[in-house]
Every structure is written in C-alpha cells, then in structure tokens.
C-alpha cells in the first residue's frame, strides 16, 4: 500500500522542524480524477430542493416513484427533507449531535445516531440503518449526506448492492484540498471510484463558506456538494459546460465561489 501511494507522489519537498513532508500527489493524478468527475447532462432537468442557501441541493427531476430518503447529518436545517415531505417522500434522519430534527413532521423518522463505517455505540452503518428501517424494501431510494468528513469511510464501507439501491445520491465532500497529500488522495480517489462504478456525476456545487485551495492552475474548493444519478436511469449523456447553474445559490452570504473551469472543461 505504501509503495502504491508513493507512486502517486512528487519527490521529497522539504523538512521543517520535527516534521518531514514526503511529497505531494502528482498533478496528472489529480487531473485524471477531475476528468472522471466532470458533470454530465444525463437527460433530466435539475431542480432545486431545500433552502435557497445552505441546505438546498440541485437534483435531477427524476423523483417519481421514490418513497423514501435517507438523510444523515441533521444539525439545524431540514428544509430539504421538509420539501421532500411535501412531495410525499418520507425521510429517515440520523444525527447523534441533536435530540430531534428542527422540524417535526409525520413524514420524518429520527434516529439519534451518527452514520459510520461500523455498528458501535453512537454509530450505525448505512446498511444496518436501511435494514432496520426498510428491511426487505427493494424500490429505489434517495440519499442526502452531509456528515462532516465521515462520508469517505461510509461510502467505502457500504456494499455496492446497497449503494445501487439509491437512484440519486447527494453528498457534501469535505477537505478536498487535502488530496494533495498522497495518502488522503488514495482515500478520496477510491471513494469516488466506488461511486463512479454505479453513478454519473450530475452536478457539482462548491460551498463558498470554506473557500478554495490553488496550486498552479488547479483550483480545489475545500468542500463541494456532488449530485449523482444511478447509471440505470440514464440513456444518454453529454458534458455539462455551463456553471454556475441558474438554480445554484451561495451557501452563505459571502464571496461567491463558482465551480472552477478545471472541474468541467478542457
């Protein structure tokens, strides 16, 4: 594993104090990942569900037949799930850091748990959560996940047959600027590769709260919201080349951060 990671890294950079920086991820490796993640027009218009700022997401207009959404990471916002409830979609919510959702509706079922890579104490896996709430259910599902960096471990630990049950997946990926670290790049690229086996990227929205990291002509927003659609739903694809989308809205009222060109052009 270490040898494999070193092949992704630039040569020794520098040593400072008690710390030694062994190298950085090679630029071609990062470019290759960006190419694989270029958003595609998959034949569905994008609609906005949720708040006009943080807590709102662009989703392919392919929700008909979806009855349930799994939504880990509640905090203080449930506008997305609230609007799904208006569409008769029931949401299962989970977050150990709060005692209840900020909105009470009969279409909400709340579990005081963190989503994680194993079942222990405060944590539950995505597989166990689905089995607990919808044992034997075989229809398409929706997943919306904002769990502050745990998304990588959750996705990598979830069997493909569970992921494949989701028609649409929306994930906020955190700390993307750390992909310049070869070890972290291995984790990030493996996570995306697992998803890309089953899904196309339909949209990417940078979170303007967190800013961006720049190395040369590579611009990496630190946190970005990705929307995926299951390949089983898609008949044709073409590149998405216009960003921001007209329905994109800044997460917070500060300087706008649009998706950098290196993520969708060239």
Tell whether 164 is covered by a domain. yes
Tell whether 14 is covered by a domain. no
Query: Cα(45)–Cα(240) distance, rounded to whole angstroms?
Result: 12
Q: Looking at the predicted structure, is the pLDDT value of residue 12 above 50?
A: no
CATH no. for residue 117?
Answer: 3.40.50
Tell me the pLDDT band of 23, cut-offs 50, 70 and 90: confident
Q: How many domains does the chain have?
A: 1
Q: Looking at the predicted structure, is the pLDDT value of residue 2 above 90?
A: no
Return mean pLDDT, the chain.
91
Write the DSSP symbol of residue 165.
Answer: T
Tell whether 16 is covered by a domain. no
Tell whether 187 is covered by a domain. yes
Question: In the block, which residue shows the tokens 């951060």?
Answer: 257
Please list, in sequence order, all residues whose beta carbon lies within 8 angstroms of the beta carbon of residue 116, skipping any fewer than 6 positions away.
123, 124, 125, 150, 153, 154
Report the percent of the chain where pLDDT is more than 90: 85
pLDDT of residue 53: 85
148 phi and psi, to 5 degrees? 55, 45
232 phi and psi, to 5 degrees? -65, -20
Tell whether 81 is covered by a domain. yes
Q: Looking at the predicted structure, is the pLDDT value of residue 244 above 70?
A: yes
Query: Cα(126)–Cα(54) distance, rounded to whole angstroms?
Result: 24
Asked if the bond preceding 244 is cis, omega within 30° of 0, the reply is: yes
The predicted-structure confidence for 184-213, as pLDDT tens digits, reads as follows 999 999 999 999 999 999 999 999 999 999
Tell whether 12 is covered by a domain. no
| Domain span including residue 47 | 27-263
Tell me the pLDDT band of 76, cut-offs 50, 70 and 90: confident
pLDDT of residue 222: 97
155 phi and psi, to 5 degrees? -65, -45
Q: Which two tokens stand for residue 183?
A: 């070890």
- Specify which residues 170 forms β-bridges with: 144, 227
Tell me the pLDDT band of 8, cut-offs 50, 70 and 90: very low
Q: Hey, is 203 helix, strand or coil?
A: strand
Question: In the block, which residue shows the tokens 């946190």?
Answer: 223
The predicted-structure confidence for 164-188, as pLDDT tens digits, reads as follows 999 999 999 999 999 999 999 999 9
Tell whether 7 is covered by a domain. no
Tell whether 1 is covered by a domain. no
Tell me the pLDDT band of 21, cut-offs 50, 70 and 90: low
Q: Give me the helix-helix angle, 182-196 and 27-36, nearest 10°.
A: 20
H or E element in which residue 78 lies: none
Nearest to 225, CA basis, from 165, 178, 172: 172
Write the DSSP symbol of residue 175.
Answer: -
The predicted-structure confidence for 109-137, as pLDDT tens digits, reads as follows 999 999 999 999 999 999 999 999 999 99
């Amino acid at each position: 594993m270490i040898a494999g990671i070193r092949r992704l890294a630039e040569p020794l950079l520098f040593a400072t104090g008690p710390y030694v920086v062994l190298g950085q991820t090679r630029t071609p490796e990062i470019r290759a990942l960006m190419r694989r993640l270029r958003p595609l027009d998959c034949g569905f218009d994008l609609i906005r569900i949720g708040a006009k700022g943080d807590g709102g997401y662009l989703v392919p207009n392919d929700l008909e037949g979806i009855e349930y959404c799994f939504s880990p990471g509640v905090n203080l916002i449930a506008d997305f799930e609230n609007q799904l409830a208006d569409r008769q979609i029931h949401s299962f919510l989970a977050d150990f850091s709060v005692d209840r959702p900020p909105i009470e509706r009969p279409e909400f079922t709340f579990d005081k748990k963190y989503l994680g890579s194993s079942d222990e104490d405060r944590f539950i896996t995505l597989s166990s959560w689905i089995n607990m709430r919808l044992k034997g259910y075989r229809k398409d599902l929706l997943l919306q996940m904002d769990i502050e960096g745990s998304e990588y471990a959750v996705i990598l630990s979830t069997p493909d047959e569970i992921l494949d049950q989701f028609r649409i997946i929306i994930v906020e990926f955190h700390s993307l600027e750390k992909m310049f670290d070869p070890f972290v790049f291995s984790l990030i690229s493996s996570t995306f590769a697992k998803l890309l086996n089953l899904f196309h990227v339909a949209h990417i929205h940078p979170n303007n709260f967190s800013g961006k990291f720049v190395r040369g002509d590579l611009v990496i927003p630190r946190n970005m919201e990705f929307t995926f659609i299951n390949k089983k739903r898609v008949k044709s694809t073409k590149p998405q080349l216009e960003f921001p989308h007209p329905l994109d809205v800044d997460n917070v009222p500060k300087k706008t951060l649009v998706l950098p060109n290196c993520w969708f052009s060239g």
